[in-house]
Amino acid sequence: MLTFDVLTLFPESLSGFLGSSILGLARARGIVDVRLHNLRDFSADKHRKVDDRPYGGGPGMLITPEPVFRAVDWLEAHGFAGRRLLMTPAGRTFDQPFAQELAGEKRVLILCGHYEGFDHRIVEGLKWEEVSIGGYVLSGGEPAAVAIVDAVTRLLPGALGDPDSPKDETFTDGKIEYPQYTRPREFRGLAVPEVLIGGNHAEIRKWREEESKRRTAERRGQATSGG
C-alpha cells in the first residue's frame, strides 16, 4: 500500500475530494492511504501562527521554518521514510512519468504552500523535491496535492475496475488517447465511426493507433506554434 502524508494549513479542503470516486474507493480497499496533517498543530506560537513578513521587505507573508521542521521531525519519529514533495510553481513539472515513479513508492510526503511561499531554509534544510503541476500560480498547494494523489492512485493495482485502463490513457506512452464513443450510435447528426461498429478488432486497433498519432501530432503542433 502507498501512503501519502499531506502537510497543509487547510486539511478540511481536501477531505471531500479524497473520500469520493476512485480515490475514495481505493482508500476503502486499502490500496492507498492519505493522512492529512495540519501544519498549525506544529506551531509553537500560542495562536498557532505559521507565517511572518519577509526580511528585506516585499508583499505578503512567508511560512516560517519552525512548524515545518517540527512536523517533519514528528513524522520521522513516527516511522516516515520516503519521498518529500514541496509544491511550488518553480518546481519540476509533474507529468505521467513522474506519476509512474511515485506509484512505485511506499510513502510520499507532500507539503502544501500558502501566502507568498516558504522561508528558503525549509527547502535547504529538509531537502525537498520541488514540484509544480503547471506554469501558473494557485492560491495554495492543496489542489496540486490532490492532482498528484489522484494521478498516482489510479496507477496502483486494483484502483481502477479494469487493470488495463491505465495502459491506454493519454500520456502513458507519450501519446494522446484516441477518441472514444458510446450509445447512441447517432446523436444530433453526429455518428460513431463505422470501423467501431463492425467488430473487426484488428481494424479497430489500427484505427485507434492512427487516431492517437493524429491527435498527438495536432496537439504537439499547437503547443510548439503557440496557438
pLDDT in 10s for each residue of the chain, 227 residues: 999 999 999 999 999 999 999 999 999 999 999 999 999 999 999 999 999 999 999 889 999 999 999 999 999 999 999 999 999 988 999 999 999 999 999 999 999 998 889 999 999 999 899 999 999 999 999 999 999 999 999 999 999 977 666 665 555 667 899 999 999 999 999 999 999 999 999 999 999 999 999 999 998 776 555 44
Same fold, 2-153 and 175-225: no
Cα end-to-end span (Å), the chain: 42
2-153 — its CATH code? 3.40.1280.10
Domain ranges of the chain: 2-153, 175-225
Q: What does pTM read for this prediction?
A: 0.83
Q: How far is C-alpha 201 from the geometric centre of its chain's CA atoms?
A: 34
CA separation for the pair 79, 75 (Å, rounded):
6
The reply to whether CATH 1.10.1270.20 applies to domain 175-225 is yes
Radius of gyration of the chain (CA): 22
Question: What number of other Cβ atoms are within 10 A of residue 82's Cβ?
Answer: 17
Q: Which of 78, 82, 72, 76 is nearest to 118 (CA)?
A: 72
